[in-house]
Each structure stands twice: as structure tokens, then as C-alpha cells.
Amino acid sequence: MQKKLSEFLHVENIFVFVCLFWGLLLILALPPLHGSDEPEHFFKIWGFTQGTLKYQLKDNWVGINAPKSLVELAGICHHYRWTYKKIPADVKFYMSKIKLNKQDKVFFRYNAPEYTPLSYFPSFLVLWVLKLLNVAPLVMTYLLRVSFLLTYIALGYVALRIIPCKRWMLFLFQTLPVVLGQASIISTDGAFFGILFLFFAYTIKLAFDKNIEKIEKKQICLWGILGIILCMLKYAYLPLLFLYFIIPEKKFPNKGIYYKILSTIITITLVIVMCFICSAVSNVGLRSAFYNINAKTSVIILDILKNPLEFLNAVWYSTLIYFKNNTFYSDIIAMAKLPFFVINTYWFLLLLSVFYRENDEPTINLKVKDFFILIFSVIFTYLIIITSVYIIWQHYPFIRGVFGRYLTPLLLILFLILASTNFNLKNKYVPIIIFFVSQFLLLLNLFDSLIRFC
């Protein structure tokens, strides 16, 4: 009995329990289609189930031909979402009675995100089945949320199983309110974070696992596939492929193969990403009032290339404002406006987890060159993120639209650098503190949703 209990208390099993418990509660607490960009992702998936890989145009407006019932549900949710009002009980009852009529369609304008079916796998298959069963639209939204959550949990579980060290640091990142919140809605972020953590864990395994003295072909192929998928989900994070350099060169047959493998993976990824970008740039249509409909994407890109110093000045100015507004301090942890003592506690736990070391785990040894490569990857990724946001939103000189969750992956890389220091904690009570305090903080995060929406 004691042996079974100790096996259950492995961090990966705790992760599954924590994500299921809090994830399902968040799914129920958050009204349908109230998550970040959730309606846009929902209709994007619906388009995939119709065989529509790109958005449709009508009168030059971006949108999709969708059932009126879905549009009606989205309209009701949109009203309460942006007026910050709680949905009355009678409206909730009416929403539950809306039936799916796939034949009665209407063109619906929305800001279609530029993602491939891979970003929604396997959830778009779930929606395809739900369509066949004529499941009510409201039920669809909740079942889709569950499918996204289960996908994230599966990926996160494998990541914790394979990482040879810093398990509690990874656990804490995986259960941050911003990460768990995005994994519990209809969004691409759940799959992205899941693949990100799996890619990170596998890189750490190849680099520092004591049992891996030589890298085999199948191992580096798997690493390359994970890296390519990561960049396909969100191309802005392509510089994270440079994590490859923390894998010791001595684990490869020779220096030539070491660099040849990375160059091949980067080339394949660049070709795929460039095809994706060219496809996105070629798609032109009118979107919401947030967008500058007078400027095409290609025009904005050319303007940046012609005036790089002016654009970099806007990046610097915007970054200072984000720091001043605490976007990079609080929103990188949680999307909800939690009290500062909660955010500060999370930062303390993160630092505690990065310095905690289990007795049997290998040491993370980073060379000076690794340090500079990781810093370069973080800066380069941030520049791509803020440039992408500017191209979409086209606000100048303050580039609006950079959310804290975009930078959470970069925080993981920065904490990897901290993990390479000689300072280690081996107190057996550290995991207990991390678990119980983080659960209390997740409870406060849930209360925030309940107060706002229920």
C-alpha cells in the first residue's frame, strides 16, 4: 500500500490530478466563448471540419459560413463578454436550448486566426464527431474545452516523465494560472504549451541525462520533429531551436554532424514557416476596427524594412510601457488581475523550484557560450513576437497587443539559466511547499473567475 502511494505521488501523477481538478473547475466557471480569442478559434475549427483551410470572404470581409445557431450563441456570449456583465439565469437557460441546424447558414464576420489544423489537433476531430451527432452548440463548446485540456495534460505528463531534473520547476510552469487557463479553453495555446514543455524536457534529457552518452539518430529525429511542430504551432518561437546548443557536442560522432543536424532542422522549419507566412500575407480581407484596414500586411513589412531604427525605437518605447504597467511581471503568471501578494508568491515559488535539487538528479552545466546563446534566443524571440503583434494590430508608436502569456516560454528559458548556478536546495520539504502553496494560489485564481462570472 505504501509503495503504491509513493508511486502515485510522483510529480507527473500529481500534475494529472491537479490539471484535471482545476482545469475542469475553470471550464465550468468561465462562461462559454469568454476565453481569450475563444470565439475566433471556435469558428476556425468549425471551418476545418467543413474542409475550409483558409477564411472565407464576403464583400471583402473576413469570415465563415456557419450555422445561425452558432452565430446566435456567439452573439449572446459576445454581448456579456465585452460588457463585463454576468449572464442571467434565464439567458443561460435559453442558450442551453439552442439546437444545431447545420443547414441554416449565414456568413459570420470574425477575425480569423492564421493557424493550421495541427494547432487544433485532435480537437477538430472531436468537433467533427460532435457535428455528426448534432450536439447542441453550448454543449459543443464545453466538450471542446475538455478535449483541449486532455490534450495538454497528455503532453505535460510525458514531459514530466522524461525530464531528468528540475521536475518541480517544470510542474510549477505547467500549472501557472495563465498556462492552465489557456489550456482549459478553445485555443491553440494549450497544444502549444504542451509541445513547448515536451520539447524543453526532451532537450534537457538529451543534454544532461547521465544514461545518454551518445545521441542516436532516432533521438535527434524526435527532437527535430518536436522542434518543427513547436514552430508550426507558433512560428515566432523559432529561435528556441537554438536550445540545441546546450546538448554537448561530445555526444555526437563528430563536429560536422553536430552542426549539420541543426542546420537541416532549421532549414526544414524555415521552409515550412515561410510557406505559412506567405500564405498568411497573401490572404487579405477587412477585419474588425482594431485593425488598420488601409494597410496590407506586405506594406507594413516593407515599411519596417525601410525604417528599421524607427521601428526598433517603437519596440523599446513599448517595452518600457509594458514594464511600467507590470505586464511582464504579473500577466506572465496569470491573466486574471490577482492581488500582488499572489503574484509575488508565485515568483517566490518559481525561484524556490529552480534552486531545488533532488538527490538523484543530474546537474545542469551550461557553458559561457550556452548562456549567451540562450539570452540571444530570448531577445530574438521577443523581437519576432512584438513585430508580429505590430503587423497584426498596426499601432504606433506604442505596439499594443503583447500579452504576458506570450513571454511565459521565455521565462522558462531564463530560469534554465538560473538552474545552472551552483546554488542548490536539497530540503525534502521544498516539493511539499511548492505543491500546497501553488494549490492555494490556484484556488484564489478560481475565486477570481467565480466572482467575475458566476
Phi, psi of 283 (to 5 degrees): -85, 115
Residue 155: its H or E element: helix 137-162
C-alpha cell at 408: 511565459
Within 10 angstroms of residue 446's Cβ, the number of other Cβ atoms is 17
Q: Write out the H or E segment, with its range, that includes residue 64.
A: strand 61-67
pLDDT at 282: 61
Cβ neighbours of 183 (radius 10 Å) = 28
Q: Is 63 helix (H, G, I), strand (E, B) or coil?
A: strand
Q: What is the pLDDT of residue 379?
A: 95
Full domain range(s) for residue 307: 2-453
Q: What residues form DSSP beta bridges with 65?
A: 107
- Residue 15, pLDDT above cutoff 90: yes
Instruction: Report which secondary-structure segment, H or E, holds 109.
Output: strand 105-109
Distance CA 247, CA 252 (A): 9
**pLDDT-based confidence at 3, cuts 50/70/90?**
very low
Quick one: how far is CA 388 from the chain centroid? 16
Q: How many CB atoms lie within 10 A of CB 326?
A: 13
Q: What is the pLDDT of residue 280?
A: 62
DSSP-derived secondary structure letter, 212: -
pLDDT cut 70: percent of the chain above it: 93
* Per-residue pLDDT, 365: 86
Mean pLDDT of 137-157: 96
User: For residue 88, what is the DSSP state?
Assistant: P
- Half-sphere CA count of 267, side-chain side, radius 13 A: 6
| Cβ count near 168 (within 10 Å) | 24
Write the CA distances from 419 to 350, 356, 395, 406, 423, integer angstroms: 11, 9, 37, 22, 8
Mean pLDDT of 219-231: 92
Phi, psi of 109 (to 5 degrees): -80, 130
Amino acid in position 360: D
CB contact at 8 A, 114 and 236? no
Mean pLDDT of 425-431: 85
**What's the confidence (pLDDT) of residue 2?**
43
DSSP helix, strand, coil percent of the chain (3-state; round to 5): 65, 5, 30
Q: Which three cell numbers stand for residue 19?
A: 490539471
**Tens of pLDDT along 54-72?**
777 777 777 888 899 999 9
| Spatial distance between the Cα atoms of 186 and 313, rounded to a whole number of angstroms | 35
Mean pLDDT over 152-165 rounds to 96
* pLDDT classification of 243: cutoffs 50, 70, 90: very high
- Residue-level pLDDT at 287: 66
Is the pLDDT at 5 greater than 50? The verdict is no
Residue whose C-alpha cell is 521544498: 430
For position 7, what pLDDT does the model report? 52
**What pLDDT is attached to residue 72?**
93
Per-residue pLDDT of 362-387, as tens digits, reads 888 898 899 999 999 999 999 999 99
Q: Taking all residues of the chain, what is their mean pLDDT, rounded to a whole number?
A: 87
Q: Give the total number of structural domains in the chain.
A: 1
| Residue among 343, 133, 370 nearest 249 (CA) | 370
Query: How confident is the model at residue 395, as a pLDDT?
Result: 77
The pLDDT tens digits of the residues spanning 310-358 come to 999 999 999 999 888 887 888 888 877 788 888 999 999 999 999 998 8
Sheet holding 105-109, edge to edge: 56-58, 61-67, 105-109
Closest to 289 measured CA to CA, from 75, 61, 123: 61
Q: What value does the mean pLDDT take over residues 176-195? A: 95
The gap from C-alpha 256 to its chain's centroid, in whole angstroms, comes to: 34
Q: Which of 250-254, 273-277, 402-406 has the lowest mean pLDDT?
A: 273-277
Secondary structure letter of residue 358 according to DSSP: -
> Is the pLDDT at 75 greater than 80, yes or no?
yes
Q: pLDDT for 172-182, tens place per residue? A: 999 999 999 99
Query: Are 15 and 175 a contacting pair, CB within 8 Å?
Result: yes
Q: How confident is the model at residue 73 (pLDDT cuts 50, 70, 90)?
A: very high
Task: Cell numbers for 128, please give them.
Answer: 467533427
Cβ-contact 241, 199 below 8 angstroms:
no
Cβ neighbours around 329 below 10 Å, total: 15
pLDDT for res 452:
81
End-to-end CA distance of the chain: 41
Q: Are 437 and 174 in contact (CB under 8 A)?
A: no
Task: Mention every residue, 6+ apart, whose C-beta is less than 8 A from residue 51.
Answer: none
Confidence bin at 283 (pLDDT 50/70/90):
low
Segment 204-222 mean pLDDT:
91
